[in-house]
Amino acid sequence: MLTIYPSLFRSIKPADYRRERIVTPDNDFLDLDFSERGNKSIVVILHGLEGNSTRKYVFGMVHIFNGAGFDTVSMNFRGCSGEPNRNLRFYHSGETDDLRAVITYLVSLKKYTAIHLVGFSLGGNVTLKYLGEQGADAVGVIKSAVAISVPCDLKSGSAELEKRHNIIYMQRFIRDLGHKLRLKEQQFPGSISLDHYGEVKSFRQFDDRYTAPMHGFKDALTYWEQCSSRFYLHNIRIPVLVINAQDDPFLGKECYPYEIAADSQYVYLETPHQGGHVGFVRFGKDFYWSEKRALAFLQEV
Protein backbone atom coordinates (compact mmCIF):
# COMPACT_ATOMS: atom_id res chain seq x y z
CA MET A 1 0.00 0.00 0.00
CA LEU A 2 2.67 2.52 1.03
CA THR A 3 4.70 1.62 -2.07
CA ILE A 4 1.97 2.23 -4.61
CA TYR A 5 -0.01 5.01 -2.92
CA PRO A 6 2.22 8.01 -3.83
CA SER A 7 2.34 7.30 -7.57
CA LEU A 8 -1.42 6.85 -7.76
CA PHE A 9 -2.81 9.34 -5.29
CA ARG A 10 -0.25 11.93 -4.24
CA SER A 11 -1.10 15.42 -5.45
CA ILE A 12 2.00 17.59 -5.81
CA LYS A 13 2.81 20.51 -8.05
CA PRO A 14 5.59 20.09 -10.64
CA ALA A 15 8.98 21.62 -9.98
CA ASP A 16 9.97 24.82 -11.75
CA TYR A 17 12.86 23.35 -13.70
CA ARG A 18 15.51 24.84 -15.93
CA ARG A 19 17.01 22.10 -18.08
CA GLU A 20 20.68 21.99 -18.93
CA ARG A 21 22.44 19.36 -21.02
CA ILE A 22 26.03 18.40 -20.33
CA VAL A 23 28.28 16.25 -22.52
CA THR A 24 29.90 13.20 -20.93
CA PRO A 25 33.53 12.15 -21.52
CA ASP A 26 32.34 9.40 -23.91
CA ASN A 27 30.44 11.96 -26.03
CA ASP A 28 27.01 11.11 -24.70
CA PHE A 29 24.79 13.53 -22.77
CA LEU A 30 23.00 13.98 -19.47
CA ASP A 31 19.96 16.19 -18.96
CA LEU A 32 19.97 18.02 -15.64
CA ASP A 33 16.90 19.79 -14.27
CA PHE A 34 17.81 22.67 -11.97
CA SER A 35 15.44 24.30 -9.50
CA GLU A 36 17.34 27.38 -8.41
CA ARG A 37 16.74 29.95 -5.69
CA GLY A 38 20.16 31.59 -5.69
CA ASN A 39 21.46 29.54 -2.77
CA LYS A 40 25.04 28.51 -2.01
CA SER A 41 24.12 24.90 -1.26
CA ILE A 42 22.76 22.44 -3.84
CA VAL A 43 21.21 18.99 -3.54
CA VAL A 44 21.71 16.49 -6.36
CA ILE A 45 18.67 14.19 -6.61
CA LEU A 46 18.96 10.78 -8.28
CA HIS A 47 15.80 8.89 -9.28
CA GLY A 48 15.13 5.15 -9.27
CA LEU A 49 14.93 2.48 -11.97
CA GLU A 50 13.11 3.76 -15.07
CA GLY A 51 12.23 6.96 -13.24
CA ASN A 52 13.11 10.53 -14.17
CA SER A 53 13.12 14.05 -12.77
CA THR A 54 9.31 14.30 -12.96
CA ARG A 55 8.55 11.55 -10.49
CA LYS A 56 6.46 12.69 -7.54
CA TYR A 57 9.09 11.57 -5.03
CA VAL A 58 11.62 13.79 -6.83
CA PHE A 59 9.25 16.76 -6.80
CA GLY A 60 8.73 16.28 -3.07
CA MET A 61 12.46 16.55 -2.40
CA VAL A 62 12.82 19.53 -4.72
CA HIS A 63 10.08 21.46 -2.93
CA ILE A 64 11.21 20.73 0.62
CA PHE A 65 14.84 21.63 -0.10
CA ASN A 66 14.01 24.75 -2.11
CA GLY A 67 11.87 25.90 0.78
CA ALA A 68 14.71 25.35 3.24
CA GLY A 69 17.38 27.31 1.38
CA PHE A 70 18.86 24.81 -1.06
CA ASP A 71 19.07 24.81 -4.85
CA THR A 72 18.45 21.38 -6.38
CA VAL A 73 19.44 19.59 -9.56
CA SER A 74 17.50 16.49 -10.53
CA MET A 75 19.74 14.22 -12.58
CA ASN A 76 18.15 12.16 -15.34
CA PHE A 77 20.06 8.95 -16.01
CA ARG A 78 20.97 8.26 -19.62
CA GLY A 79 17.89 7.63 -21.73
CA CYS A 80 15.48 8.72 -18.98
CA SER A 81 14.95 12.37 -19.91
CA GLY A 82 12.57 11.77 -22.82
CA GLU A 83 15.21 11.29 -25.49
CA PRO A 84 17.36 8.20 -26.16
CA ASN A 85 21.00 8.68 -25.30
CA ARG A 86 23.59 8.47 -28.09
CA ASN A 87 25.53 5.37 -27.12
CA LEU A 88 24.54 1.71 -26.98
CA ARG A 89 24.98 1.60 -23.21
CA PHE A 90 22.60 3.54 -21.00
CA TYR A 91 22.59 3.27 -17.18
CA HIS A 92 22.61 0.63 -14.46
CA SER A 93 22.70 0.22 -10.70
CA GLY A 94 26.46 0.68 -10.43
CA GLU A 95 27.07 3.36 -13.06
CA THR A 96 28.90 6.10 -11.15
CA ASP A 97 30.85 7.79 -13.95
CA ASP A 98 27.86 9.93 -14.85
CA LEU A 99 27.34 11.08 -11.26
CA ARG A 100 31.03 11.91 -11.18
CA ALA A 101 30.56 14.01 -14.34
CA VAL A 102 27.67 15.91 -12.71
CA ILE A 103 29.67 16.61 -9.55
CA THR A 104 32.63 17.79 -11.62
CA TYR A 105 30.35 20.10 -13.57
CA LEU A 106 28.80 21.59 -10.43
CA VAL A 107 32.24 22.24 -8.95
CA SER A 108 33.31 23.94 -12.18
CA LEU A 109 30.44 26.43 -11.87
CA LYS A 110 32.04 27.85 -8.70
CA LYS A 111 28.58 28.81 -7.45
CA TYR A 112 28.16 26.39 -4.58
CA THR A 113 29.99 26.03 -1.29
CA ALA A 114 28.19 22.79 -0.41
CA ILE A 115 26.96 19.82 -2.47
CA HIS A 116 24.67 17.17 -1.01
CA LEU A 117 23.26 14.00 -2.57
CA VAL A 118 19.84 12.34 -2.25
CA GLY A 119 19.29 9.06 -4.10
CA PHE A 120 16.24 6.82 -4.39
CA SER A 121 16.38 3.05 -4.88
CA LEU A 122 18.74 2.47 -7.84
CA GLY A 123 19.82 6.09 -7.50
CA GLY A 124 20.56 5.43 -3.84
CA ASN A 125 22.79 2.51 -4.75
CA VAL A 126 24.64 4.69 -7.27
CA THR A 127 25.05 7.38 -4.61
CA LEU A 128 26.50 5.03 -2.00
CA LYS A 129 28.78 3.21 -4.45
CA TYR A 130 30.11 6.52 -5.75
CA LEU A 131 30.88 7.79 -2.26
CA GLY A 132 32.59 4.50 -1.38
CA GLU A 133 34.71 4.70 -4.51
CA GLN A 134 35.66 8.29 -3.74
CA GLY A 135 36.48 7.63 -0.10
CA ALA A 136 38.42 10.55 1.37
CA ASP A 137 38.43 12.32 -2.00
CA ALA A 138 34.76 13.21 -1.47
CA VAL A 139 35.57 15.10 1.72
CA GLY A 140 35.31 18.85 1.20
CA VAL A 141 33.47 18.45 -2.10
CA ILE A 142 30.33 16.67 -0.91
CA LYS A 143 29.03 17.46 2.55
CA SER A 144 26.46 14.68 3.10
CA ALA A 145 24.11 12.21 1.43
CA VAL A 146 20.82 10.43 2.01
CA ALA A 147 19.95 7.14 0.28
CA ILE A 148 16.36 5.94 0.43
CA SER A 149 14.95 2.43 -0.22
CA VAL A 150 18.32 1.16 -1.41
CA PRO A 151 18.84 -2.35 -2.85
CA CYS A 152 22.42 -2.17 -1.62
CA ASP A 153 22.79 -5.92 -2.23
CA LEU A 154 21.64 -6.36 -5.83
CA LYS A 155 21.55 -10.14 -5.70
CA SER A 156 19.30 -10.07 -2.65
CA GLY A 157 17.06 -7.40 -4.12
CA SER A 158 16.74 -9.23 -7.42
CA ALA A 159 15.76 -12.44 -5.63
CA GLU A 160 13.14 -10.58 -3.61
CA LEU A 161 11.58 -9.11 -6.75
CA GLU A 162 11.19 -12.60 -8.21
CA LYS A 163 8.79 -13.56 -5.42
CA ARG A 164 5.09 -13.86 -6.15
CA HIS A 165 4.05 -10.78 -4.19
CA ASN A 166 6.17 -8.62 -6.51
CA ILE A 167 5.04 -10.07 -9.85
CA ILE A 168 3.21 -6.89 -10.93
CA TYR A 169 6.26 -4.72 -10.24
CA MET A 170 8.58 -7.20 -11.96
CA GLN A 171 6.41 -7.33 -15.06
CA ARG A 172 6.29 -3.55 -15.25
CA PHE A 173 10.07 -3.17 -14.94
CA ILE A 174 10.71 -5.80 -17.63
CA ARG A 175 8.13 -4.18 -19.92
CA ASP A 176 9.54 -0.67 -19.51
CA LEU A 177 13.13 -1.82 -19.98
CA GLY A 178 12.03 -3.70 -23.09
CA HIS A 179 10.71 -0.47 -24.60
CA LYS A 180 14.09 1.12 -24.03
CA LEU A 181 15.88 -1.82 -25.62
CA ARG A 182 13.64 -1.57 -28.69
CA LEU A 183 14.93 1.95 -29.23
CA LYS A 184 18.51 0.71 -28.84
CA GLU A 185 17.84 -2.04 -31.35
CA GLN A 186 16.75 0.62 -33.85
CA GLN A 187 19.72 2.86 -33.07
CA PHE A 188 22.27 0.06 -33.30
CA PRO A 189 21.02 -2.64 -35.70
CA GLY A 190 22.68 -5.98 -35.06
CA SER A 191 24.23 -4.95 -31.74
CA ILE A 192 21.50 -6.44 -29.56
CA SER A 193 18.69 -8.89 -30.18
CA LEU A 194 15.25 -8.88 -28.61
CA ASP A 195 14.34 -12.29 -30.01
CA HIS A 196 12.42 -14.22 -27.35
CA TYR A 197 12.32 -11.18 -25.05
CA GLY A 198 8.96 -12.42 -23.84
CA GLU A 199 10.79 -15.23 -22.05
CA VAL A 200 12.54 -12.72 -19.75
CA LYS A 201 10.73 -12.83 -16.41
CA SER A 202 13.35 -11.74 -13.86
CA PHE A 203 16.25 -9.37 -13.33
CA ARG A 204 18.66 -12.31 -13.38
CA GLN A 205 17.53 -13.15 -16.91
CA PHE A 206 17.48 -9.51 -17.99
CA ASP A 207 20.88 -8.69 -16.49
CA ASP A 208 22.45 -11.87 -17.90
CA ARG A 209 21.16 -11.15 -21.39
CA TYR A 210 21.40 -7.36 -21.58
CA THR A 211 22.77 -5.34 -18.65
CA ALA A 212 25.95 -7.36 -18.19
CA PRO A 213 27.14 -7.64 -21.83
CA MET A 214 26.11 -4.08 -22.71
CA HIS A 215 28.13 -2.64 -19.83
CA GLY A 216 31.19 -4.86 -19.73
CA PHE A 217 30.31 -7.49 -17.14
CA LYS A 218 30.68 -11.26 -17.56
CA ASP A 219 27.17 -12.06 -16.34
CA ALA A 220 24.45 -10.95 -13.92
CA LEU A 221 26.22 -12.34 -10.86
CA THR A 222 29.44 -10.49 -11.70
CA TYR A 223 27.48 -7.30 -12.29
CA TRP A 224 25.69 -7.63 -8.95
CA GLU A 225 28.90 -8.38 -7.06
CA GLN A 226 30.79 -5.44 -8.54
CA CYS A 227 27.96 -2.92 -8.31
CA SER A 228 26.27 -3.60 -4.96
CA SER A 229 26.94 -0.57 -2.77
CA ARG A 230 27.02 -2.78 0.35
CA PHE A 231 30.59 -3.67 -0.55
CA TYR A 232 31.64 0.01 -0.70
CA LEU A 233 30.05 1.32 2.49
CA HIS A 234 33.13 0.72 4.63
CA ASN A 235 35.10 3.25 2.57
CA ILE A 236 32.64 6.17 2.87
CA ARG A 237 34.13 9.18 4.63
CA ILE A 238 31.29 11.71 4.73
CA PRO A 239 28.04 11.56 6.75
CA VAL A 240 25.51 9.33 4.99
CA LEU A 241 22.01 8.32 6.06
CA VAL A 242 20.50 5.12 4.64
CA ILE A 243 16.74 4.72 5.08
CA ASN A 244 15.33 1.26 4.32
CA ALA A 245 11.86 0.45 5.64
CA GLN A 246 11.41 -2.98 7.19
CA ASP A 247 8.30 -3.55 5.09
CA ASP A 248 9.99 -2.68 1.78
CA PRO A 249 8.79 -5.40 -0.62
CA PHE A 250 11.85 -5.03 -2.88
CA LEU A 251 14.61 -5.59 -0.33
CA GLY A 252 16.07 -8.84 0.95
CA LYS A 253 17.73 -9.15 4.36
CA GLU A 254 21.18 -8.41 2.94
CA CYS A 255 19.93 -4.92 2.03
CA TYR A 256 19.92 -3.94 5.70
CA PRO A 257 23.63 -3.43 6.56
CA TYR A 258 23.24 -3.20 10.34
CA GLU A 259 26.75 -4.40 11.20
CA ILE A 260 28.47 -2.14 8.68
CA ALA A 261 26.60 0.90 9.98
CA ALA A 262 27.36 -0.05 13.58
CA ASP A 263 31.09 -0.17 12.80
CA SER A 264 31.14 3.05 10.76
CA GLN A 265 31.35 6.59 12.09
CA TYR A 266 29.96 7.92 8.79
CA VAL A 267 27.15 5.55 7.73
CA TYR A 268 23.86 5.86 9.63
CA LEU A 269 21.15 3.27 9.01
CA GLU A 270 17.51 3.81 9.91
CA THR A 271 14.95 1.04 9.35
CA PRO A 272 11.45 2.27 10.23
CA HIS A 273 8.81 -0.43 10.55
CA GLN A 274 6.71 1.07 7.78
CA GLY A 275 7.40 3.00 4.61
CA GLY A 276 7.27 0.55 1.74
CA HIS A 277 9.53 1.20 -1.23
CA VAL A 278 10.03 4.95 -1.74
CA GLY A 279 6.77 5.47 0.14
CA PHE A 280 6.95 6.87 3.69
CA VAL A 281 3.53 8.47 3.27
CA ARG A 282 2.24 11.02 5.79
CA PHE A 283 -1.47 11.22 5.03
CA GLY A 284 -2.83 14.74 5.04
CA LYS A 285 0.64 16.33 5.13
CA ASP A 286 2.41 18.32 2.43
CA PHE A 287 5.68 16.45 2.87
CA TYR A 288 6.36 12.78 3.46
CA TRP A 289 8.37 11.41 6.36
CA SER A 290 11.39 10.60 4.16
CA GLU A 291 11.50 14.18 2.86
CA LYS A 292 11.38 15.67 6.35
CA ARG A 293 14.03 13.22 7.56
CA ALA A 294 16.35 13.89 4.61
CA LEU A 295 16.17 17.63 5.18
CA ALA A 296 16.77 17.26 8.91
CA PHE A 297 19.83 15.08 8.30
CA LEU A 298 21.39 17.53 5.84
CA GLN A 299 20.76 20.40 8.23
CA GLU A 300 22.26 18.44 11.14
CA VAL A 301 25.54 17.80 9.36
Residue 1 has pLDDT above 80, yes or no: no
- The DSSP line for 28-93 is -EEEEEEE--S-SEEEEEE--TT--TTSHHHHHHHHHHHHTT-EEEEEPPTT-SSS--SSS----T
b or e along 134-149 (b: 16 or more beta carbons within 10 Å of the residue's beta carbon)? Answer: beeebeeebbbbbbbb
Amino acid at 238: I
Looking at the chain, the whole-number percentage of residues with pLDDT higher than 90 is 96
Q: What is the pLDDT of residues 258-279, one digit of tens each?
A: 999 999 999 999 999 999 999 9
- The answer to whether 72 touches 58, Cβ cutoff 8 Å, is no
Please name the helix (run of DSSP H) or strand (run of DSSP E) that holds residue 268, with its range, or none. strand 267-270
Residue 284 has pLDDT above 90, yes or no: no
| Residue numbers annotated as active site | 121, 248, 277
Residue boundaries of the structural domains of the chain: 5-153+229-300
CATH T-level fold of 5-153+229-300: Rossmann fold (3.40.50)
- The answer to whether 152 touches 233, Cβ cutoff 8 Å, is yes
Phi-psi sector, 289: left (phi>0), alpha (psi -120 to 50), beta: alpha
Q: Report the distance separating Cα 87 and Cα 78, nearest Å.
A: 9
Residue 3 has pLDDT above 90, yes or no: no
Q: What is the pLDDT of residues 84-121, one digit of tens each?
A: 999 999 999 999 999 999 999 999 999 999 999 999 99
Nearest C-alpha neighbor of 132 from the set 244, 267, 253? 267
What is the predicted pLDDT for the residue at 8? 81
